[in-house]
Chain A
Amino acid sequence: MKPRARAGSEVLLRFDNLTLGYDRHPAVHHLRGEIVTGSLLAIVGPNGAGKSTLLKGIAGELRPLQGGIELRGLQRRQIAYLTQQATLDSSFPIIVHDFVAMGLWREIGAFAGLNHLLRRRIAEAIARVGLCGLETRPIGSLSGGQLQRALFARVLLQDAPLVLLDEPYGAIDAASVRDLAALVRQWHNEGRTVIAVLHDLEHVRQEYPETLLLARELVARGDTANVLSDANLLRARQLAEGRGEDQAAAICHSDHDAA
């Protein structure tokens, strides 16, 4: 499968024979390809296909077993990464305003105060995700959808050139999905690169021009309509099930060399 690159676009990310996994058991095999700046890319595939593992690898939180990921003109700390299970302790006594404001860390660090301008940006981010009026509520009292909105507001303030979203719409209501998807479109229009792991293929077809179909290895990559063909989806399912029957098959020859 040839990597797709738009003419005139700069490459932001390059996978070089990338193999990622845990305890020497690869979850993503020999991935090659490039992602150009400004892409709006969906990663789809069956359960256990290595989608979340790939995002973790891009975020730099998992060292490749083999090959590598090259970030061009971008540092790891400039990546905004929203994980599938939010890592936060929602019982922590912090109000929505202060929680969202943590997104400004790169600008204010541990010590600097909030000036008028930064306060306005926080208020705008909270308004943008539809949490107006809840600024002083503790995060523990938010519903699942509201908490996800707060997390998106924090990502918004991070002002990151690359945004990674891992199943951002799991278990939240339709209105929240609609509002947050609009925010993702806004990021795309601003020229940011967004890579999202998603399950809802209809949503992907509507919102994402590009898709990467993964089943431990690359199945297809390119225009969403072409990638999400019945043939490709069937092949992805077969690949995932085939691997599932024989775990040893997941350890391929060259990985032994790498280990």
Chain B
Amino acid sequence: MTETLSSLPLLSPFIEFGFMRRALAGCLALSLGATPVGVFLMLRRMSLAGDAMSHAILPGAAIGYLVAGLSLPAMTLGGLVAGLAVAVLAGGVARNTVIKEDASLATFYLLSLSAGVLIISLRGSSVDLLHVLFGSVLALDDAALFLLAGFASLSVLALALGLRLFALEGCDPAFLARISRLGPVAHYGFMILLVLNLVAGFHALGTLMAVGIMILPAAAARLWVCNLGPLLLIAVGTAFAGSLIGLLLSYYVNLPAGPAIVLTLGACYLLSLAVGPLGPLASRWRSSWHFER
């Protein structure tokens, strides 16, 4: 039975190699945890803010690395602390000065990226730097997998409980502020979820790619449906399918796994733009059809 299965080219890498199975499990965790957060990130028009935040966790992770080397707990803790600090600081600067939020986030992310790279180069090799910037999805150990699965479970649970709250906060925040005291809970709760998932994504895809598995599937799914529930499901499905194809590409064509996954997700987005019913081509086709009738 196993022999017949391993003769299938789509399955054999995962049957033969433990590191491929681990990579796939890690991607499944990220698809379930990070992608739904990415959907809300996109709906709140915060996609670029998410990108900036993913850079913001770098100096924290780098300090963890400086203290303890490539240690999972130290880098995770450092990343969480730095990410949350920047989320609060950037929001505070935007609210209390003439600097708008986009500029505020850009300054923080440039500072974070340069500080992070500097700190790692103080002690480590360029291999370590590559590991931090682009992740190591093919080298996930047990501890990393448990961390990804744990964060994903927490994230799924929080989103399931707070779905209505997050939806209303995204759709009509002023109305939420009028009828409920939970507005700040929704805002900061979402920020915490974002940082958790960015740190998880950081371990697998690195600081420069972590946002890829959040935003690209979300944007692709948005071109197919207009309702939040199906949108979340399609985004998660796209993220997992894209990860699977990306891993197979990296195995057979010998590409770096992280970029292969993110590029595959990017291809899903481009395909959705071309054929998705809410994409620009479909709406043009529909309007010409209308006039021909």
CB of A245 within 8 A of chain B? no
Candidates A77, A81, A93; contact of B227 at CB < 8 Å: A93
Q: Are B227 and A95 in contact (CB under 8 A)?
A: yes
B232-279 interface (Cβ within 8 A of A): none
Q: Is the CB of B182 within 8 A of A110?
A: yes
Residues A110 and B165 in contact in the complex (CB < 8 Å), given A89-B170, A94-B227, A105-B180? yes
Chain B contact residues: helix, strand, loop or mixed: helix
Give bound CA distance, A114 to B245, whole Å.
40
- A6-41 contacts to B, CB under 8 A, are none
**B226:A99 contact, CB within 8 angstroms:** no
Asked if residues A88 and B175 are in contact (CB atoms below 8 Å), the reply is yes
Q: Are A138 and B164 in contact (CB under 8 A)?
A: no
User: B203 within 8 Å of A by Cβ?
Assistant: no
Whether A92 touches B43, Cβ cut-off 8 Å, given contacts A77-B179, A81-B178, A102-B168, is: yes
For A79, list chain B residues within 8 Å (CB).
178
The interface of chain B, by Cβ under 8 A from chain A, is 43, 161-162, 164-165, 167-168, 170-175, 178-180, 182, 222, 225-228, 231
Interface residues as binary, A61-89 with B (CB distance below 8 Å gives 1, 0 otherwise): 10000000000000011010101000111
Output the least CB separation between A151 and chain B (Å).
Answer: 9
Interface, chain A (partner B; CB < 8 A): 59, 61, 76-77, 79, 81, 83, 87-89, 92-95, 98-99, 102, 105-106, 109-111, 138, 140-141, 158
Find A110's partner among B162, B222, B225 (CB 8 Å cutoff). B162
User: Knowing A102-B168, A110-B162 touch, does A95 contact B226 (C-beta < 8 A)?
Assistant: yes
Candidate in B165, B173, B175 with the most chain A CB atoms within 10 angstroms: B175
- A106 vs B172: C-alpha distance in the bound complex, in angstroms? 16
Q: When the two chains form their complex, are residues A92 and B171 in contact, meaning their CB atoms are under 8 A apart?
A: yes
Contact assessment for A138 and B226 in the assembled complex, using a CB-CB cutoff below 8 Å: yes
Q: Which residues of A contact B167 (CB under 8 A)?
A: 92, 94, 98
Residues of chain A with a CB closer than 8 A to B179's CB: 77, 105-106, 158
Complex interface: chain A residues within 8 A of B231 (CB): 93
Q: Which B residue's beta carbon lies closest to that of A140?
A: B226
Q: Which residues of B contact A158 (CB under 8 A)?
A: 179
A198 to B229, CA, bound (A): 38
B228 x A77 contact (CB < 8 A): no
CB pair B178–A77 under 8 Å, yes or no, is yes
CB distance from A229 to the nearest CB of B (A): 36
Q: Are B225 and A83 in contact (CB under 8 A)?
A: no
A140–B225 Cα gap in the complex (Å)?
A: 12
Is B175 touching A93 in the complex (CB atoms < 8 A)?
A: no
Residues of B within 8 A of A59 (CB): 178
- Residues in A with CB closer than 8 Å to B173 are 87
**Complex contact B225–A93 (CB within 8 A):** yes
State the Cβ distance, A215 to closest chain B Cβ, in Å. 28
Q: B226, A88: Cβ atoms under 8 Å?
A: no
> Is there contact, CB below 8 Å, between B165 and A102?
no
Which chain A residues border B168 with CB–CB below 8 Å? 102, 105
Name the one of A87, A93, A109 contacting B222, with C-beta atoms under 8 angstroms: A93
Contact of A93 among B43, B161, B164, B178 (CB under 8 A): B43
7 smallest beta-carbon distances between A and B, as pairs: A87-B174, A138-B226, A88-B172, A92-B171, A110-B165, A105-B179, A93-B226
